[in-house]
Amino acid sequence: MRRVRDSADRRVVHLVYPPEARALARRYSGPLARAAETARGRFDDAQLTTIASFLRTLDAELAARHETPNGAS
């Protein structure tokens, strides 16, 4: 990644994602995406709804603990 200032507005910074970085990201994320899709295919819609609900609840719990000093409830 590279930061490049906008020529018209120097306050604006563009992030440039070079081709070699894109290739590296594809090599990493491709197998992960395929594995996630395969795993997801093993669950029906009702199960996926339950999983999504659990993950939203877990996310909210973690966010609440992050906002509280020392993670106390």
Q: Using H for helix, E for strand and C for coil, what is the string for 1-38?
A: CEEEECCCCCCCEEEECCHHHHHHHHHHHHHHHHHHHH
Return d(Cα 6, Cα 21) in angstroms, integer: 21
Length of the chain: 73
| pTM score over 0.85 | no
1-51: pLDDT as tens digits: 889 999 999 999 999 989 998 899 889 899 999 999 999 999 999 999 999
> Can you tell me the distance from the alpha carbon of 70 to that of 19, in angstroms, rounded to the nearest whole number?
42
Which pLDDT value is given to residue 69?
A: 66
